[in-house]
Amino acid sequence: MVDYRPIPDERDVFHEYRSYAFRPEEGVPAYDPADHETPRDTLGSRRGVYEDGAADDAKPRSVCRHYWLESRVRGDVHRTAGLASVATPPEYRRRGYVRQLLARSLAEYRDHDVRFSVLWPFRYRFYRQYGWDTCTRLVTHECEPSVLSVASDAVDRDAGSFRRLEADEYEALEPAYETYADRYSLALERDEEWWRHRVFAGSERDPFVYAYERNGQVRGYLVYTMDGTDGDRTMVVSELAAIDHDAVLALLSFCYDHESQVQRVRLRVADDVPLRAIAREPDQIETTVADGPMVRVVDIAETLSAVAYPDRDATVTIAVEDPLAEWNDGTFRLAVSDGRADCRRLRDHETLQSSADVRLDIGALSQLVVGFQSAAALERTGRLETTDASSLETMSTLFPETTVFLGDRF
């Protein structure tokens, strides 16, 4: 047994654990509140697990941070917890502390009516064993600025203009962001603190933020940094948000306009940004696709009762294996009528599991619910089993595949 509790007064210990876990090559810099307790650093809630009965001043065995967020899933906004900074010093590793930290974190999320947990993993296999699974594919395009001249040729430069924004002007970006984010499942709802300290502020240096305006309204924006030195400099775009294709072209043209200043442009975007389709020379673009953050349903019964469904009446039984949350490890009856749902856990899981219409693990179910994977794709790869074709068709109808993109790092 462990004691799971907040660690608000042990920030130096949190800093020590986090530095050793994620940047050991730099050593552990001496804790300095001026450097390590910036507004960006203090977002979220610190948690730790301690030996049961440990003194108040004891050191935690493992720590993490929770960000209390909201995200869009299937057209509605749901409470979402961002899990970050999971760190355990080497003297306490391989003793099950992280497993207990994750389990107790899920229990806290459940108490707060959180529907989804999201995280950026250091290793996918590690978190997959505890029920999280991939929810975003990150597409990175890298090319010489000249490759983007096609956008400059296509855009009407007199139709709009660019201006640099500071954090105090974040509200100017909100309408464009809302339109952009509505296209993506798991896109975050951003409040003032998130805009100021996660978008306009960086961990080591603040990015540039430029807005593209047309007819007095922001139609898109870029968040980027400059890496390298003169002669070997790269413009690194971490966020490109546009409300229409013309705005996409304008933003790419803005990148091209840095041709005299940078040798490369690197853009990290959602996979529906058609850069290769726009380019005259797609063979001059280096495109990589990588797994991004991971997602997990916190409470199956509550989440499946809360998300929106197509206008289709259906009833299906779903057997789920969850290695971490006992309230999810069981068989559930999902009944949908007029777009509303009721999901309840059934008793006698072992008896019902073999006769359930659908069988899958919590990671696969989480991907299905947010729209990252279709039921058919999960079935083809052996991650979803059904008793018959009609059950697969029902799951495909209730949980259609959508475009998922969670680009905010934390």
pLDDT of residue 21: 77
Domain count, the chain: 3
CA distance 256 to 265: 8
| Position 54 pLDDT exceeds 90 | no
According to DSSP, the β-strands at 137-143 and 161-164 are: unpaired
**Domain boundary residue, one of 291, 322, 355:** 291
Contact 375, 399 (CB under 8 A): yes
Q: How confident is the model at residue 28 (pLDDT cuts 50, 70, 90)?
A: confident
Q: Per-residue pLDDT averaged across 163-168, rounded?
A: 98
What's the 3-state SS for the chain?
CEEEEECCCCHHHHHHHHHHHHCHHHCCCCCCHHHHCCCCCCCCEEEEEEECCCCCCCCCCEEEEEEEEEEEECCEEEEEEEEEEEECCHHHCCCCHHHHHHHHHHHHHHHCCCCEEEECCCCHHHHHCCCCEECCEEEEEEECHHHHHHHHHHCCHHHCEEEECCHHHHHHHHHHHHHHHCCCECCECCCHHHHHHHHCCCCCCCCEEEEEEECCEEEEEEEEEEEEECCEEEEEEEEEEECCHHHHHHHHHHHHCCCCCCCEEEEEECCCCCHHHHCCCHHHCEEEEEECCEEEECCHHHHHHHCCCCCCCEEEEEEEECCCCCCCCEEEEEEEECCEEEEEEECCHHHHHCCCCEEEEHHHHHHHHHCCCCHHHHHHCCCEEECCHHHHHHHHHHCCCCCECCCCCC
pLDDT of residue 383: 98
- Could you tell me which of 9, 7, 32 has the C-alpha nearest to residue 19? 32
pTM of the prediction?
0.92
Residues 75 and 215 in one domain: no
Cα atoms found within 13 Å of the Cα of residue 2, Cβ hemisphere only = 24
- Asked if residue 131 is part of any domain, the answer here is no
pLDDT of residue 37: 78
CA distance 366 to 93: 28
Contact 93, 130 (CB under 8 A): no
Residues 87 and 14 in one domain: yes
CA distance 102 to 139: 29
pLDDT of residue 349: 61
- Expressed as residue numbers, the domain containing 87 is 2-114
CA distance 363 to 129: 9
- Asked if residue 132 is part of any domain, the answer here is no
| Position 381 pLDDT exceeds 70 | yes
Residues 148 and 287 in one domain: yes
Beta bridge partners of 345: 332
pLDDT of residue 351: 59
- Asked if residue 256 is part of any domain, the answer here is yes
Q: What is the mean pLDDT of the chain?
A: 94
Q: What is the pLDDT of residues 244-302, one digit of tens each?
A: 999 999 999 999 999 999 999 999 999 999 999 999 999 999 999 999 999 999 999 99
- Asked if residue 249 is part of any domain, the answer here is yes
| Position 352 pLDDT exceeds 80 | no
pLDDT of residue 268: 97
Residues 154 and 286 in one domain: yes
| Position 1 pLDDT exceeds 90 | no
Residues 77 and 168 in one domain: no
CA distance 107 to 328: 11
Residues 279 and 364 in one domain: no
Residues 268 and 334 in one domain: no
CA distance 174 to 303: 28
| Position 183 pLDDT exceeds 70 | yes
- Asked if residue 308 is part of any domain, the answer here is yes
**Domain boundary residue, one of 291, 306, 338:** 291
- Asked if residue 380 is part of any domain, the answer here is yes
- Asked if residue 408 is part of any domain, the answer here is no
- Asked if residue 346 is part of any domain, the answer here is yes
Q: How confident is the model at residue 34 (pLDDT cuts 50, 70, 90)?
A: confident
pLDDT of residue 36: 74
pLDDT of residue 350: 59
| Position 223 pLDDT exceeds 80 | yes
| Position 182 pLDDT exceeds 90 | yes
The percent of residues above 70 in pLDDT, for the chain, comes to 99
Tell me the residue type at 129.
Answer: Q
The CATH number of whichever domain residue 161 belongs to comes to 3.40.630.30
Contact 71, 406 (CB under 8 A): yes
Q: What is the pLDDT of residues 85-142, one digit of tens each?
A: 999 999 999 999 999 999 999 999 999 999 999 999 999 999 999 999 999 999 999 9
